[in-house]
């Protein structure tokens, strides 16, 4: 069995790992469980550092640079600090829900990583319904957030939790519809096959789908400009006001694991995943993940927060029609014009994307010019 990963042949230049790679069922399970947990923790720490440094640069300051080289160990220092804080549970809180909420919020995010391919075949399990599994599990996180808001018996938390549900039910549909476009092109739900089908990255064939997917998932993970759930200036911190110590750390971990997940999924679905020339596949995946996350940070430091009526209107009147049109166009092309040259389709899709965004922006008034809460 050859496991060399570097070669000079572009794209599929390495051997696919067998489904139970190091030997048998239990060995595979042990190795990949350790790899996945380590991967998530290390990338979350790196992402926190990367975000703080980059946002420092965007605001013309240095960012954390004292702990370790370039401030690399700042996140670790923060973790040690937060785990030794007093664990406060409010008197009137619903204790069971309050204790369970961080668990419900973090476990689904970790579970999703089981199907994300780090390399050809290098994943815990290659489910044949991979992307459906991802979609199904990643929306459970909102239940954890709602439990947190409800259980802590605080008015601001409840407003934050209600906003989170509103956000989830609005952005779920455009997000899932945009993934259907990728499935149409691939003809499979397995994430490995989706990566394998991308001779041209799907961001070129599916620019509208990418646009909708990216915005939808920004809203799903509550990043700027959709961070109404934890709007500091209006509702203090939303659902996690009453949480301290390790429970707060768990929510923080959940939030950043979602960011890691979004970056990994965007890289897998639209940017070609682990495939790329020269470098080892895992490095390509990391490069793409950090590129996607850099764009998320850029958006965060540029755009102001939406008002909630604008946010709902944006999902239902802007993104949903766009996603439906993308679905229609993609399926039309596949059914009636399957032999079309890829580059014509690339040009056409970008032209349609620009035209649609221009037309939509002209005719779109967020929230009917009314101010709501």
Partner 1 sequence: MLQDYGYIALFLLVTLAFVSFIILIPIILRFFRIVPKRPNPIKNTAFECGMKTIGRSWVQFNFRYYFYALMLIALDVMVVFLYPWAVEVGRLGVYGFIAVLVFILIIIVGYIFALKKKVLEWK
CB of 15 to partner 1, least distance (A): 21
Question: With respect to partner 1, which residue has the nearer C-beta, 287 or 325?
Answer: 325
CB of 313 to partner 1, least distance (A): 7
Cβ-contact 342, 205 below 8 angstroms: yes
HEC readout, 134-168 = HHHHHCCHHHHHHHHHHHCCCHHHHHHHHHHHHHH
Contacts to partner 1 from residues 260-299, by CB under 8 A: none
Question: With respect to partner 1, which residue has the nearer C-beta, 120 or 250?
Answer: 250
Considering only residues 10, 22, 23, 187, which one is a binding residue for partner 1 as defined by CB under 8 A?
187
Q: Report phi then psi at 247, rounded to 5.
A: -70, -40
Considering only residues 76, 132, 200, 299, which one is a binding residue for partner 1 as defined by CB under 8 A?
132
Distance CA 6, CA 204 (A): 26
Name every residue whose Cβ is closer than 8 Å to that of residue 44 and which is 6 or more positions away in sequence. 75, 253, 256, 257, 260
Cβ-contact 130, 115 below 8 angstroms: yes
CB of 286 to partner 1, least distance (A): 22
Considering only residues 72, 245, 280, 295, which one is a binding residue for partner 1 as defined by CB under 8 A?
245
Contacts to partner 1 from residues 300-319, by CB under 8 A: 308-309, 312-313, 316-317
Contacts to partner 1 from residues 58-97, by CB under 8 A: 83-93
Contacts to partner 1 from residues 138-177, by CB under 8 A: 150, 152-158, 162, 165-166, 169-170, 172-173, 176-177
CB of 189 to partner 1, least distance (A): 6
Question: With respect to partner 1, which residue has the nearer C-beta, 152 or 276?
Answer: 152
| Site membership for partner 1, residue 365 (CB under 8 A) | no
Considering only residues 279, 303, 334, 344, which one is a binding residue for partner 1 as defined by CB under 8 A?
334
Question: With respect to partner 1, which residue has the nearer C-beta, 33 or 302?
Answer: 33
> How many chain residues interact with partner 1 (CB under 8 A)?
83
Cβ-contact 172, 103 below 8 angstroms: no
Distance CA 29, CA 294 (A): 32
| Site membership for partner 1, residue 111 (CB under 8 A) | yes
Residue 341, token pair as written in the block: 């040259």
Contacts to partner 1 from residues 246-265, by CB under 8 A: 246-247, 249-250, 253
| Site membership for partner 1, residue 25 (CB under 8 A) | yes
Selection from 327, 334, 322 nearest residue 187 by Cα: 334
Cβ-contact 110, 173 below 8 angstroms: no
Question: With respect to partner 1, which residue has the nearer C-beta, 170 or 349?
Answer: 170
Residue 40 Cα distances to 132, 296, 311, angstroms? 21, 18, 30
DSSP state at residue 16: P
Considering only residues 38, 42, 62, 103, which one is a binding residue for partner 1 as defined by CB under 8 A?
103
Selection from 296, 266, 263, 259 nearest residue 201 by Cα: 266
Distance CA 67, CA 79 (A): 13
Distance CA 297, CA 268 (A): 20
CB of 336 to partner 1, least distance (A): 8
Question: With respect to partner 1, which residue has the nearer C-beta, 3 or 369?
Answer: 369
Question: With respect to partner 1, which residue has the nearer C-beta, 15 or 20?
Answer: 20
């Amino acid at each position: 069995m050859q496991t060399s990963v570097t070669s000079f042949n572009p794209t599929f230049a390495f051997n696919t790992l067998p489904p139970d790679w190091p030997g048998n069922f239990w060995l595979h399970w042990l190795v990949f469980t350790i790899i996945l947990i380590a991967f998530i923790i290390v990338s979350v720490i790196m992402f926190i550092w990367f975000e703080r440094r980059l946002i420092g640069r965007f605001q013309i300051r240095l960012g954390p640079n004292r702990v370790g080289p370039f401030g690399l160990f700042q996140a670790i220092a923060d973790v040690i600090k937060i785990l030794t804080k007093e664990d406060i549970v409010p008197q009137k809180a619903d204790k069971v829900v309050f204790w369970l909420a961080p668990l419900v919020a973090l476990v689904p995010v970790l579970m999703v990583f089981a199907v994300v391919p780090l390399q050809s075949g290098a994943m815990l399990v290659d489910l044949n319904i991979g992307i459906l599994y991802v979609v199904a599990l990643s929306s459970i996180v909102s239940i954890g957030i709602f439990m947190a808001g409800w259980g802590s018996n605080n008015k601001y938390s409840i407003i934050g939790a209600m906003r989170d549900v509103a956000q989830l039910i609005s952005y779920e549909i455009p997000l899932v519809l945009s993934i259907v476009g990728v499935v149409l092109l691939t003809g499979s739900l397995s994430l490995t096959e989706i990566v394998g089908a991308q001779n041209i990255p799907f961001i070129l064939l599916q620019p509208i789908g990418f646009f909708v997917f990216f915005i939808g998932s920004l809203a799903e993970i509550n990043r700027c400009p959709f961070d109404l759930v934890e709007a500091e200036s209006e509702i203090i911190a939303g659902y996690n006001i009453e949480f301290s110590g390790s429970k707060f750390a768990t929510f923080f971990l959940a939030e950043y694991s979602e960011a890691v997940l979004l970056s990994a999924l965007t890289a897998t679905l639209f940017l070609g995943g682990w495939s790329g020339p020269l470098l080892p596949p895992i490095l390509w995946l990391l490069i793409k993940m950090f590129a996607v996350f850099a764009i998320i940070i850029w958006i965060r430091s540029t755009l102001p927060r939406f008002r909630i009526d604008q946010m709902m209107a944006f999902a239902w009147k802007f993104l949903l029609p766009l996603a439906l049109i993308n679905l229609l166009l993609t399926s039309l092309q596949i059914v009636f014009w399957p032999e079309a040259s890829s580059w014509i389709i690339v040009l056409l899709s970008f032209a349609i994307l620009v035209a649609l965004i221009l037309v939509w922006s002209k005719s779109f008034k967020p929230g009917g010019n009314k101010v709501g809460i």
